[in-house]
Amino acid sequence: MSATATDRGTGRIGQAARKRDGALLLTGGARYIDDVRPPGTLYAAVVRSTVANARIRRVHAGEAEALPGTVLVLTGERARDLAAPTPYFIDPLVRGARRVDIRCLEPDRVVFVGQPVAAVVADTREGAQRAARLVRVDYDVLPHVLDAERALEPDAPRVYAEWPDNVVLSKSYGTGDPDGALESADVVVEGTFRSGRTTTAPIEPRGFLAHWDEHAQTLTMHGSCQNPHQLRWMLSATLGIPENRIRVVTEKVGGSFGLKMQGQPEETLVALLSMLAGAPVKWIEDRRESFLAGSRQQVHRFTVGARSDGRIVALVDRIVADAGAMTAQAGWAMPNMSATTLPSGYRVPDCRIDLSIVATNKPPLSAARGFGKDSAHLVMERAVDLVARRLGLDPAVVRERNFIRSDEFPYRTSTGLNIDSGDFHGLLDKATTSLGYRRWRERQREARASGEHIGLGLALELTPESSDSPGSFVSGFDTTTVRMSVTGSVTVLTGVTSPGGGNDTGIAQIVATELGVPLEWVRVVQGDTDRCPNGFGNFSGRSMVVGGGSAALAARDVRRTLALVGARMLGVPDAEVRDGAVVDPAGAGAVPVPEVALAVLTRSFDVASGVEPILESTRAYKPGNIDHRPDAHGRIQPYPTYSSCVHAAAVRVDAETGRVEIADYAMAHDCGTMINPALVEGQAWGAVVMGLGAALSEQLVFGEDGATLSDRFKSYLMPRAADVPEIRMEHQVTPSPYTMHGNKGAGEAGVGGAQAAIANAVEDALSPFGVVVDRVPLTPPAVLELIRRAAQEVAP
Amino acid sequence: MTGEDTPRYTAPADLDGVVAALEGADEGTVLVGGGTMVVPAMTHGHVVPSALVDLGRAGLTGIREEDGATVVGAMTDYASLLAADTDRGPGHPLRLLARAAAGITGGPQIRNRGTLGGSASYANPASDVPGCLVALGARLRLASARGVREVPAQEFFLGAFRTARRPDEVLAELVLPHGDALAWGYVKFKLAESSWPVVTSAAAVLAGGGLRVALGAAADRPVALDVPAPHRGTADPAWRALVADGAARALADRGAAFVDDVLADAHYRAAVTPVIVARAVEGALRGADRQERGRA
């Protein structure tokens, strides 16, 4: 495949067509949720809990209600009578987990600092916020627990009094005989790894504008969200409005990364406030509110056994995942994927992964790019490096010896994933060559002589994509309508939505290619439940796999009709649609597609007689490889495709301050066929940088009272341009046999591998000190602490 | 905002007008310089002023020489400090301020809006300017209806976001004496590009061979350190220990302590302080050395 990120071409599949809305975005013309301002709009502010665990005694709304400009104050008590609990995006009961009712406002108790307890509607945003500050809440404060391991202790405070303990889900994964394999291993290495609590921090926070029309009895909800159809269903369930009276519209979205998956309390809340106020009500999340959403925090205690040649024979991992409080959003379920993504792309048939998802009095998890898969790579890649170090082997060599070989696919892992395809040896070769791995090893030797600490880190990242979770709205298929008008213009209505990454451009490329018309003829409409077919939005790298696949099927239907009628017009037996014309393959003539479209729709009793006069098709696409029938071990297979990549990082560590500088970085990436290489690279860069942030600087920090302290971008440190070197990006294309175009999901790969590669590189740099890296983020204070601890262990 | 909450706003055309506007002012009166801190704070409702005095039209800009000192108008922005740093010797006070200005993040918008006087008056411990002014031995010229007074930088910064400026005073000018500095070194240490500085140090090599060192961001106010010349190099553990002691003493003398915050705890700040001071001193020594060789 010769696709490159600079070959813009004519916008066919595989070419790097420019993002269709690029000019609009760059010139500030794009319309986001806060730009939607119907006349008479009122503004909402949320009153949030200031304590981490308490019974609510009383909510005092009087002062807030008396403030000029206040329209209404809604308490949890009243909201309970008006709205049902929020249905879960992934129901815990289906997964064998515990559940609690999640309400838009908590009437009786709070379990984290920041939980919504009341809401105010006023004539301005500032007025609503001022009134919200005047709402006082009396609490009976209870003891709280902020640490997941502490929460597992028998005497720990209980997050939910009605539960016997704080465990949300306890489950084991894996097959084989890991204990026996460990016993017969030549070396056994144990390790601990802790990942910090991070957040997604899109540039645009969440926001909704609800408008209840009392006369029409309809609810229109504009939102910055990922899943308009699920949101419509959820609003119907909580507010008792028939789904066909609810319209959800997604404007341009300024990044989602999982945060804007449906299920958060404010969704029902804003709609309810509009019904009560009888006016459009808008709520735009404050950045401090956005920082409440957590992700990734886990503790792993793992044991890995290997033969003396570096072949890994067994992996045992015990995961404690800190869910924070429960959420109806998908976030609570992420740690499941940390367990099932182990042992990644390595041939380790004997595995046992024991997972405990634990509730604490921290704000809930929100879904976050990587969806837990990233944490698996941290552990697996640390395990591989620990084996290499114990055996005195180069980490690259140990990886080569353990990768699943490209002739072994499809390969079923110990945890049940059926990896469709890949070439991990090829990726390692590309990444190390791109970085100049050997040259960096030489530099590392030279630098050590002069007291400088350079380290190299490698990581494989296997990213299961386009998931389907049985009985949930995590759906492995989607639906698209392709419609051609009498003038040949094409409207694509699809159930997948774009968080801003540009899948609309990719879908347009697929439709243009499959239909045989220029890209400019195609317009893609997303995120409107009244216009688009039933669909599931964006998550899990699904948009090009199932949005693209269903668009291709629908486009082919329209193309067939064009070819049939076009051939009649040409007087030939068969015709093709190419570059906007129906052409005789023998070269006898061509007729422009608009003329054919006009004929189909205006001469249906003449040249188009016997042809159903419709240039429109709605199709759903289900990729292969998903199988929810449990096998003999009870394993299901929820993913059609598995993207893969290998990361190679070179770092310099300042051993006096602990600061890590990323000196060089390469990523070899394989998402099968690339529909648009420029969009793939944009996603991959973003995912790598998100991983680098989690590896080095991003961390939600909580006070002892449970309040989020890192609630600004000066204290929650996202990488800036100067923190990140230019990433060397290499592509490998191993098409998936299970998807329409051989493409695999893209967009998540990078988050986990970047964290793992940096962790490995920092340990490599500090090996003269005997440092073992057991955590991310590796902030300067954390690195200095690791050096200090290693020195203590060497010289007690 | 609704009418009754709107603060009184004035934008005087000169210093006299500012002084008049501030007459009788209380804590509710907010002076706006470049506005890079106070405008976002008002947007978020963290600062709710009763009156705003905008210095944007009052002049108060420009750099001039006066009796062995450089006098910088309080409204001089970072971009102007950078532009002024030409053809000056490595020991000139503006060289240090230009070094600090070059490390201001936030891009051209912040460098063109943020001002030297604004940063000094805001007195964010985690910022460049307070530590640099202490290192420079700067005097801050405060004007009010009662007259003009000068306050040494050491006495101006009282704590986090607290200065000796009274509500009816405006910081008009900063006087930077031309001392015996041969060259400046400056190091701002941050956890990542986006973080507030965790420790800053400005250091000068003096004509007599001594050092003048200031420490910023480490505590709630900047302090000057007593640091001997490193005869065995700045990596010498014994010299580093003296620096650490000097820092601890300087903080104690001012009733200050290493900051414990969301970015780093006090132990970390204490641990990296001698490292950052050593690097600032190293930079100053290199600068002095280059000058020496230039002369030879």
Beta-bridge mates of residue A317: A302, A353
Top residue of A203, A285, A714 to mutate, by most chain B CBs within 10 Å, is A714
Distance from CA of B19 to the nearest CA of A (A): 32
Top residue of B1, B110, B199, B263 to mutate, by most chain A CBs within 10 Å, is B263
Residues of A within 8 A of B192 (CB-CB) are: 696-697, 717, 719-720, 723
At residue A293, what are phi and psi to the nearest 5 degrees? Answer: -70, 125
At residue A630, what are phi and psi to the nearest 5 degrees? Answer: -60, 140
* Tokens (6 digits) for A770: 């005997």
Residue A3 clears pLDDT 70, i.e. is over it: no
Residue A157 clears pLDDT 50, i.e. is over it: yes
User: What type of residue sits at position A82?
Assistant: L
Top residue of B262, B279, B282 to mutate, by most chain A CBs within 10 Å, is B262
* Tokens (6 digits) for B288: 């002095």
CB-based contact A298:A285 (threshold 8 Å): no
- Predicted pLDDT of residue B2: 44
In the predicted model, what is the mean pLDDT of chain B? 93
Q: CA of A781: which chain B residue's CA is closest?
A: B268
Q: CA of B275: which chain A residue's CA is closest?
A: A656
How many residues make up chain B in this entry? 296
The rounded distance, in Å, linking the Cα atoms of A294 and A14 is 36
Residues of B within 8 A of A291 (CB-CB) are: none
SS3 letters for A261-321? CCCCHHHHHHHHHHHHHCCCEEEECCHHHHCCCEECCEEEEEEEEECCCCCEEEEEEEEEE
CATH for B3-56 is 3.30.43.10
Residues of B within 8 A of A697 (CB-CB) are: 191-192, 194-195
User: What pLDDT, in 10s, does the model give residues B120-168?
Assistant: 999 999 999 999 999 999 999 999 999 999 999 999 999 999 999 999 9
- Predicted pLDDT of residue A685: 96
Residue A2 clears pLDDT 50, i.e. is over it: no
Query: In chain B, which residues fall in CATH 3.30.390.50?
Result: 181-295
User: What type of residue sits at position B277?
Assistant: V
Dihedral class, residue A502 (left if φ above 0, else alpha if ψ from -120 to 50, else beta): left
DSSP conformational letter for B196: P
User: What type of residue sits at position A673?
Assistant: T
State what percent of residues in chain A have pLDDT above 90. Answer: 96
State what percent of residues in chain A have pLDDT above 70. Answer: 99
CB-based contact B217:B247 (threshold 8 Å): no
User: What pLDDT, in 10s, does the model give residues A277-322?
Assistant: 999 999 999 999 999 999 999 999 999 999 999 999 999 999 999 9
Element holding A792 (H helix, E strand): helix A780-794
Q: What is the DSSP string of B197-253?
A: EEEEEEEEEETTS-EEEEEESSSSS-EEE-----TT-TT-HHHHHHHHHHHHHHHHH
CB-based contact A353:A317 (threshold 8 Å): yes
Compute the radius of gyration of chain A from its Cα atoms: 27
In the predicted model, what is the mean pLDDT of chain A? 96
Query: In chain B, which residues fall in CATH 3.30.43.10?
Result: 3-56
Instruction: Tell me the CA distances in angstroms from A165 to A78, A90, A150, A594, one per residue in order.
Output: 30, 21, 12, 67
* Tokens (6 digits) for B129: 């300017």
Same fold, A33-142+202-290 and A368-469+635-794: no
The rounded distance, in Å, linking the Cα atoms of A340 and A383 is 16
Q: Is the dihedral of CA A254, A260, A266, A270 positive or negative?
A: positive
At residue B31, what are phi and psi to the nearest 5 degrees? Answer: -90, 135
Q: Is the dihedral of CA A729, A732, A736, A741 positive or negative?
A: positive
Q: Enumerate residues 6+ apart whose C-beta is below 8 A from A66.
A: none
Burial of A341 per CB tally in 10 Å (0-12, 13-18, 19+): buried
Contact B193 A719 (CB under 8 A): yes
* Tokens (6 digits) for A402: 């353990």
CB-based contact A348:A312 (threshold 8 Å): yes
Q: Determine how β-strand B197-206 pairs with β-strand B211-216.
A: antiparallel
SS3 letters for B261-292? CCCCCHHHHHHHHHHHHHHHHHHHHHHHHHHH
The fold for domain A368-469+635-794 equals Aldehyde Oxidoreductase; domain 4 (3.30.365)
* Tokens (6 digits) for A179: 């204990």
Q: What is the pTM of this model?
A: 0.96
Residue ranges per domain, chain A? 33-142+202-290, 368-469+635-794, 477-621
Residues of B within 8 A of A717 (CB-CB) are: 191-192, 194-195, 263
Residue B1 clears pLDDT 70, i.e. is over it: no
User: What pLDDT, in 10s, does the model give residues A746-787?
Assistant: 999 999 999 999 999 999 999 999 999 999 999 999 999 999
At residue A42, what are phi and psi to the nearest 5 degrees? Answer: -105, 165
User: What pLDDT, in 10s, does the model give residues B40-98?
Assistant: 998 888 898 999 999 999 999 999 999 899 999 999 999 999 998 777 888 999 999 99
CATH for A33-142+202-290 is 3.90.1170.50
Contact B192 A697 (CB under 8 A): yes
- Predicted pLDDT of residue B106: 80
The 10 Å CB-count burial string (b at 16+, else e) for A596-624 is: bbebbbeebeeebeeeeeebebbbbbebe
Residue B4 clears pLDDT 70, i.e. is over it: no
Among candidates B229, B203, B208, B219, which has minimal Cα distance to B99? B203
The rounded distance, in Å, linking the Cα atoms of B9 and B69 is 34
- Tell me the three state secondary structure of residue A425: helix
Q: What is the DSSP string of A544-559?
A: IIIIHHHHHHHHHHHH
- State the average pLDDT over residues A529-553: 96
The yes/no answer on whether domain B63-177 falls in CATH 3.30.465.10 is yes
The rounded distance, in Å, linking the Cα atoms of A591 and B157 is 81
Contact A709 B262 (CB under 8 A): yes
Distance from CA of B192 to the nearest CA of A (A): 7
Beta-bridge mates of residue B186: B202
Q: How confident is the model at residue A426 (pLDDT cuts 50, 70, 90)?
A: very high
The rounded distance, in Å, linking the Cα atoms of B53 and B103 is 29
Span B181-295 CATH architecture? 2-Layer Sandwich (3.30)
User: What pLDDT, in 10s, does the model give residues B195-226?
Assistant: 999 999 999 999 988 999 999 999 999 999 98
Q: What is the DSSP string of A33-64?
A: GGG---TT-EEEEEEE-SSSSEEEEEEE-HHH
Q: CA of A133: which chain B residue's CA is closest?
A: B45
CB-based contact A727:A686 (threshold 8 Å): no
CB-based contact A448:A768 (threshold 8 Å): yes
State what percent of residues in chain B have pLDDT above 90. Answer: 85
Q: What is the ipTM of this complex?
A: 0.95
B285: how many CB neighbours lie within 10 A of its CB? 20
CB-based contact A232:A241 (threshold 8 Å): no
**Chain B positions with Cβ closer than 8 Å to A:** 1-2, 45, 105, 189, 191-196, 198, 262-265, 268, 271-272, 275-276
User: What pLDDT, in 10s, does the model give residues A169-208?
Assistant: 999 999 999 999 999 999 999 999 999 999 999 999 999 9
The 10 Å CB-count burial string (b at 16+, else e) for A426-440 is: bbbbbbbebbbbeeb
Nearest neighbour of A719 by CB, restricted to B192, B262, B275? B192
CB-based contact B159:B221 (threshold 8 Å): yes
Top residue of B36, B191, B282 to mutate, by most chain A CBs within 10 Å, is B191
Residue B283 clears pLDDT 80, i.e. is over it: yes
The rounded distance, in Å, linking the Cα atoms of A621 and A535 is 11
Distance from CA of B276 to the nearest CA of A (A): 9
- State the average pLDDT over residues A342-363: 97
Contact A781 B264 (CB under 8 A): yes
User: What pLDDT, in 10s, does the model give residues A428-479?
Assistant: 999 999 999 999 999 999 999 999 999 999 999 999 999 998 888 899 999 9
Q: How confident is the model at residue B296 (pLDDT cuts 50, 70, 90)?
A: low
The rounded distance, in Å, linking the Cα atoms of B18 and B173 is 13
Query: In chain B, which residues fall in CATH 3.30.465.10?
Result: 63-177
Q: Enumerate residues 6+ apart whose C-beta is below 8 A from A450.
A: none
CA B91 to chain centre: 17
Span A477-621 CATH architecture? 2-Layer Sandwich (3.30)
Which of A197-201, B17-21, B83-87, B267-271 has the least mean pLDDT?
Answer: B83-87
Q: Enumerate residues 6+ apart whose C-beta is below 8 A from A78.
A: none
Q: Enumerate residues 6+ apart whose C-beta is below 8 A from A610.
A: none
Q: Enumerate residues 6+ apart whose C-beta is below 8 A from B145.
A: B19, B20, B22, B23, B168
The rounded distance, in Å, linking the Cα atoms of B26 and B134 is 27
Which of A97-106, A469-478, A599-608, A685-694 has the least mean pLDDT?
Answer: A469-478
- State the average pLDDT over residues A345-359: 97
The rounded distance, in Å, linking the Cα atoms of A44 and A128 is 6
- State the average pLDDT over residues A605-616: 94
Contact B192 A723 (CB under 8 A): yes
- Predicted pLDDT of residue A634: 86
